[in-house]
A and B are shown apart, each in its own frame.
Chain A
Amino acid sequence: MLYELIDIIVYIFLTVGVFFNLLAGFGLLRFPDVYTRLHAGTKCTTFGSIFICGSVILIGLRMWLTNNPNGSILTIHTIIALIAILLTNPTGAHAIARAAHRSGVKPVGAVIDELEGKPIKNAPSKKKEVKKE
């Protein structure tokens, strides 16, 4: 009974993780901008990685419950890999976003740059605001 429950949870976790990783790929292809692509490419892969590593952890626990000595090693090493992903992925995304802003890439459709504190040149809707004022 417990083993069947673990198997069902493993299949659900694998499906969710694969779905979000595919969503990361499609978002990377479809979004118009570096910053929005960072949203898709980093958040979705982190969320999917949590679920896929969780399924592998459950597989290791199931092996450990059935007296297979490799199961505990599989569980602990997968937890370490998950911690490495969770620590490194958002930090790398922050570094990429900072580098993109410093190297002069502007968001599509943005009017004002809040980090620099001045309006963006050649912004699409800037002329209309000037006419209103």
Chain B
Amino acid sequence: MIEADTTTFLVVLGFLLLAVVIALIRVIKGPTAPDRVVGLDTINTIVIVGMVIFGAAFRDVIYIDVAIVYALLSYISTLFIAKYLEGGEF
């Protein structure tokens, strides 16, 4: 059995890019604002996973650190967009 090398992880990244494109169709088409927010949340999670895959592909840790920071920042942005949709005060 061959060890999972750079080519394998790049193929996986291609499939994840396909998922991002499909979710982007929902962001563009979405009839209401919460639909677009759901699409953005899905894209955020897939991008985090893609960063982890990228770090494993090139055996470099700095991409995974970026993924951790991106996860926390996208969570905060999602919470604030949800608060804005809800119409409450901050």
Residue of A85, A92, A105 ringed by the most chain B CB atoms within 10 A? A92
Residue of B45, B74, B78 ringed by the most chain A CB atoms within 10 A? B45
Name the interface size band of chain B.
Answer: 35 or more
Q: How far is the CA of A31 from the CA of B73 in the complex (A)?
A: 28
**B interface, by DSSP: helix, strand, loop or mixed?**
helix
**How many A residues face the partner with a CB closer than 8 A?**
55
Q: Are B78 and A59 in contact (CB under 8 A)?
A: no
Q: Are B1 and A7 in contact (CB under 8 A)?
A: yes
Q: Are A8 and B23 in contact (CB under 8 A)?
A: no
A48/B49 contact (C-beta < 8 A), A18-B16, A21-B16, A74-B59 known: yes
Judge whether A111 is part of the interface by a CB distance below 8 angstroms: no
Q: How far is the CA of A111 from the CA of B19 in the complex (A)?
A: 33
Q: Are A85 and B64 in contact (CB under 8 A)?
A: no
Judge whether B7 is part of the interface by a CB distance below 8 angstroms: no
Q: Are B49 and A42 in contact (CB under 8 A)?
A: no
**B residues in contact with A60, CB < 8 Å:** 56
A99/B71 contact (C-beta < 8 A), A21-B46, A52-B53 known: no
Contact of A103 among B33, B45, B68, B74 (CB under 8 A): B33
Contact of A74 among B4, B8, B46, B55 (CB under 8 A): B55
B interface with A by C-beta (< 8 Å)? 1-4, 8, 12, 15-16, 18-23, 25-26, 32-35, 37-39, 41-42, 45-46, 48-49, 52-53, 55-56, 59, 61, 64-65, 67-68, 71-72, 74-75, 78-79, 81-83, 85-87
Q: Which 9 A-B pairs have the closest CB atoms?
A: A25-B22, A88-B75, A100-B34, A41-B42, A95-B82, A25-B19, A99-B82, A99-B85, A92-B78
